[in-house]
Amino acid sequence: MPKSDFHEDDDDDDDDVVFLGSPAGGGVNSEDPSVPKPVEAQQRYRTLECRNFWRAGTYEVPSGPLHRARRAALESYDFDRARVHPKFLHSNATSHKWAFGAVAELLDNAVDEIHNGATFVKVDKINNLKDNSPVLLFQDDGGGMDPEGIRRCMSLGFSSKRLKTTIGQYGNGFKTSTMRLGADAIVFSRASRGSCVTLSIGLLSYTFLRRTLKDDIFVPMLDFQIINGQIIPLSSNSQDEWDSSLKTIIEWSPFSSKEELLLQFEDIGLHGTKVLIYNLWMNDDGLLELDFEDDEEDILLRDQAYSGGFSRSNKEIVHCHISYTLKYSLRAYASILYLRKFSSFQIILRGKPVEQVNLADEMKFMKTITYKPQVCKDAEDVSVRVTIGFAKEAPVLGIFGFNVYHKNRLIMPFWKVVQEGSSRGRCVIGVFEANFMEPAHDKQDFERTPLFIRLEAKLRQIVLDYWKHNCHLIGYQSYSTKTEKRKLKDSDKHSYEHSSKTQHKMPSVHVDGVTRLDVSAAEPSGQACAQYSIVEQSELGEDSEDIEIMDISDPTLIEKISEESIQLFMRRAELQLKTAQLKQTVEELEHELEEAKNRYSQLVADLETRRTQQVKK
Ligand SMILES: Nc1ncnc2c1ncn2[C@@H]1O[C@H](COP(=O)(O)OP(=O)(O)OP(=O)(O)O)[C@@H](O)[C@H]1O
Ligand SMILES: [Mg+2]
């Protein structure tokens, strides 16, 4: 029976516990080799009852009398040192909200091996030999890991990366990313250090740790050395320990024997690393989070479809754009993941190389702006070249934002520094490398420091400036001087159009009260889009020009803004008071007026009565 079917019916079901012979009410399976397990039950035991990543971290460690396996586990511990509970593996991985963020970490580890000779990283789906379930494979031909290296890889917070150029720095990416993608991972690495060639295997299995009730993260490892063409087991500890590691790996990995394990080195070459992630996480519907079926040359994120935000006419084109597809297509994301094109390295996704895309090649009316962030007083001058332009599809696509890289690796894709929905900044895209800031631990954001806040303000200013001076190039009306604005204020809608037309040679027509520009005249390449509804009348209002450009390099800016806010607040309170006073005056005057009117009516009536009496006399 295929595993996914098996689990659809049985998710969150603890019946298997009883079946496997654990004490009644124990709630978690225990390892009891004396109880024979039918194949199906064994398979079920080798996967967790909960296959959803976000829920897999909450589980109860059984209370009450300790059953045999738990007591044995506790007794074997060395209480003289702090331990790391397997739950930490899971909670640590929750930093990756987005599964592709985890995939990127494993690609980074291969890219960081370029200086050790890596020429490729393969990402593919293979099948678990034991139960035919999908396994995610990452394989590179980098320097590989020797026995010490693989232990560093499996440990938390150890990084061997000392070069300033490497992407890896925290010593955490491997653990968070494998755990975020699946419950279990096995690593095969071959290293060649001088004349010493080693083969190493490590198993990081959350399923094993949980099912055997470990209170500490235990990672079984096996090492071999190749001497005169012979594969010789290497053991720094006792033979018993080596045998026990082999037994655990065979039991909890997709491989059933030492020979099967060693076969995995056959296609690694002289050096390199292979990471297999299995028991991949599923969504709430019991389907794999990673979709291998829909596109056989890609890996898709099943639940990442974008809902709404675009007009129906634009939807189709927008959905093909990389700013959208990168959210769910690994091929799209991998294509922009690294800023500079590799000269002798390839990402091979499901047998097909990923074509690298530089956002600067996707722009028109491109411009480069140099920004000098104030990193800190004593630091060397830092200078960042920001490339900015209109998306080549402009004005049709409303996409915008900056791709921000750190050490060549994309950290923030299409970061929106201006408000969504505003015409200002529409279709403006940019790209730059921000090595002067530190990425967050999931490498999907930057630390929120004052430097970051200043950068955001600066980028906003850059976009608005760019827009102000160039929006006419994609068919938007623009005007640049206050004098002109004043002129526009005085004139009616038609003369406004005339003025802007003569300035920018942009023909425009009126349809349904909306100003539409015939942008085909502005398209140098003639690509786009006559009769495209571009600017609503309201968007051409006064505030288009009222952008106060502030000097954000001024360190006292925040105080100045706060001071200004307080002044404005007080002014507002004053005006509110005045408004209330005026309202009262108005009410009093209205009352007086009413009284005067009554008196007048009275007088008119008296006069009329007297006149009538005089006439009678
Ligand atoms: N594919 C690989 N080839 C060779 N060594 C690797 C590979 N993957 C991981 N390593 C080794 O394992 C160590 C830990 O990797 P891990 O991704 O956890 O941390 P890191 O890359 O050093 O830093 P970061 O947490 O920022 O990614 C690395 O420093 C490296 O020595
Ligand atoms: Mg890493």
Number of neighbours of residue 367 by Cβ within 10 angstroms: 16
Residues 255 and 127 grouped into a single domain = yes
User: Ligand 1 centroid to 447 CA: how many Å?
Assistant: 21
Cβ of residue 268 lying under 6 Å from some atom of ligand 1: no
Confidence of residue 56 (pLDDT cuts 50, 70, 90): confident
Longest Cα separation, the chain: 149
Number of neighbours of residue 465 by Cβ within 10 angstroms: 15
Cβ of residue 159 lying under 6 Å from some atom of ligand 1: yes
In a domain, residue 390? The reply is yes
pLDDT greater than 90 at residue 544:
no
Confidence of residue 387 (pLDDT cuts 50, 70, 90): very high
User: Ligand 1 centroid to 171 CA: how many Å?
Assistant: 6
Residues 598-611: tens digit of each pLDDT: 999 999 999 999 99
pLDDT attached to residue 202: 97
Confidence of residue 67 (pLDDT cuts 50, 70, 90): low
Substitution candidate for ligand 1 out of 153, 204, 273 with most atoms within 8 A of CB = 153
User: Ligand 1 centroid to 175 CA: how many Å?
Assistant: 9
pLDDT greater than 70 at residue 187:
yes
pLDDT attached to residue 350: 98
pLDDT attached to residue 457: 93
Percent of the chain with pLDDT over 90: 54
Residues 543 and 617 grouped into a single domain = no
pLDDT attached to residue 518: 37
pLDDT attached to residue 510: 31
CA–CA distances in Å: residue 540 to residues 20, 245, 277, 535: 72, 71, 54, 7
Lowest-confidence region among 104-108, 185-189, 435-439, 543-547: 543-547
Ligand nearest to the CA of 170: 1
pLDDT attached to residue 375: 82
Tell me which residue of 160, 112, 104, 114 sits closest to 445, measured CA to CA. 104
Cβ of residue 170 lying under 6 Å from some atom of ligand 1: yes
Confidence of residue 538 (pLDDT cuts 50, 70, 90): very low
The strand pairing partners of 363, in sequence order, are 391
> Roughly how many angstroms between the first and final C-alpha of the chain, as a whole number?
122
Among 52, 75, 98, the domain boundary falls at: 75
Paired tokens of 372: 């000098």
The strand pairing partners of 402, in sequence order, are 415, 430
The protein residue whose alpha carbon is closest to atom 13 in ligand 1 is 153
pLDDT greater than 80 at residue 34:
no
Paired tokens of 489: 């204020």
Average pLDDT over residues 181-207: 96
Tell me which residue of 4, 1, 10 sits closest to 287, measured CA to CA. 4
Cβ of residue 30 lying under 6 Å from some atom of ligand 1: no
Q: Are 375 and 382 in contact (CB under 8 A)?
A: yes
Residues 26 and 140 grouped into a single domain = no
Average pLDDT over residues 443-464: 93
Three-state SS at 309: coil
Task: Report the CATH number that the domain containing residue 99 is assigned in CATH.
Answer: 3.30.565
Residues 402 and 526 grouped into a single domain = yes
Residues 133 and 281 grouped into a single domain = yes
pLDDT attached to residue 496: 37
Range of the domain at 595: 560-617
Among 46, 75, 104, the domain boundary falls at: 75
Q: Are 264 and 252 in contact (CB under 8 A)?
A: no
Q: Helix-strand-coil percent breakdown of the chain, rounded to 5?
A: 40, 20, 40
Strands 120-127 and 346-349: parallel
pLDDT greater than 50 at residue 24:
no
Number of folded domains that form the chain:
4
List CB-based neighbours of ion ligand 2 within 5 Å: 109, 168, 173
pLDDT greater than 90 at residue 106:
yes
Confidence of residue 497 (pLDDT cuts 50, 70, 90): very low
What span, in angstroms and rounded, lies between the C-alpha atoms of 184 and 96?
16
pLDDT attached to residue 576: 83
pLDDT greater than 90 at residue 298:
yes
- Name residues whose C-beta falls within 8 Å of residue 145's C-beta, 6 or more positions apart in sequence: 152, 153, 187, 189, 191, 200, 273
pLDDT greater than 90 at residue 361:
yes
pLDDT attached to residue 26: 31
Kind plus residue range of the DSSP H or E element containing 495: helix 493-504
User: Ligand 1 centroid to 109 CA: how many Å?
Assistant: 5
pLDDT attached to residue 565: 64
Residues 121 and 237 grouped into a single domain = yes
In a domain, residue 302? The reply is no
In a domain, residue 260? The reply is yes
pLDDT attached to residue 61: 65
Tell me which residue of 96, 105, 85, 3 sits closest to 48, measured CA to CA. 3
Three-state SS at 258: helix
In a domain, residue 309? The reply is no
Confidence of residue 273 (pLDDT cuts 50, 70, 90): very high
Average pLDDT over residues 112-134: 96
pLDDT greater than 50 at residue 502:
no
Average pLDDT over residues 254-280: 97
pLDDT greater than 90 at residue 203:
yes
In a domain, residue 305? The reply is no
Residues 580 and 549 grouped into a single domain = no
pLDDT attached to residue 509: 28
The protein residue whose alpha carbon is closest to atom 3 in ligand 1 is 144
User: Ligand 1 centroid to 168 CA: how many Å?
Assistant: 6
Cβ of residue 468 lying under 6 Å from some atom of ligand 1: no
pLDDT greater than 60 at residue 12:
no
| pLDDT averaged over every residue in the chain | 79
What span, in angstroms and rounded, lies between the C-alpha atoms of 344 and 397?
34
Which ligand 1 atom minimizes the distance to the CA of 140? 1
pLDDT greater than 70 at residue 32:
no
In a domain, residue 316? The reply is no
pLDDT attached to residue 575: 86
Positive or negative, the CA dihedral 319, 320, 323, 324 is: positive
- Count of positions (residues) in the chain: 617
Strands 120-127 and 221-227: unpaired
Among 287, 316, 349, the domain boundary falls at: 287
Paired tokens of 260: 């099967």
pLDDT attached to residue 215: 86
User: Ligand 1 centroid to 493 CA: how many Å?
Assistant: 63
Which ligand 1 atom minimizes the distance to the CA of 105? 27
Residues 55 and 147 grouped into a single domain = no
Substitution candidate for ligand 1 out of 108, 119, 159, 187 with most atoms within 8 A of CB = 159
pLDDT attached to residue 493: 45
pLDDT attached to residue 547: 35
Distance of CA 276 to the CA centre of its chain: 23
What span, in angstroms and rounded, lies between the C-alpha atoms of 415 and 552?
19
Q: Are 270 and 193 in contact (CB under 8 A)?
A: no
In a domain, residue 190? The reply is yes
Residues 257 and 386 grouped into a single domain = no
pLDDT top residue among 504 and 131? 131
What span, in angstroms and rounded, lies between the C-alpha atoms of 193 and 137?
25
Confidence of residue 456 (pLDDT cuts 50, 70, 90): very high
pLDDT top residue among 577 and 316? 577
Residues 451 and 385 grouped into a single domain = yes
Tell me which residue of 186, 182, 128 sits closest to 154, measured CA to CA. 186
Lowest-confidence region among 210-219, 358-367, 491-500: 491-500
Which ligand 1 atom minimizes the distance to the CA of 176? 18
Which ligand 1 atom minimizes the distance to the CA of 172? 25
pLDDT attached to residue 25: 30
Residues 135-170: tens digit of each pLDDT: 999 999 999 999 999 999 998 888 878 778 899 989
pLDDT greater than 80 at residue 503:
no
Residues 545 and 577 grouped into a single domain = no
In a domain, residue 46? The reply is yes
Residues 183 and 50 grouped into a single domain = no
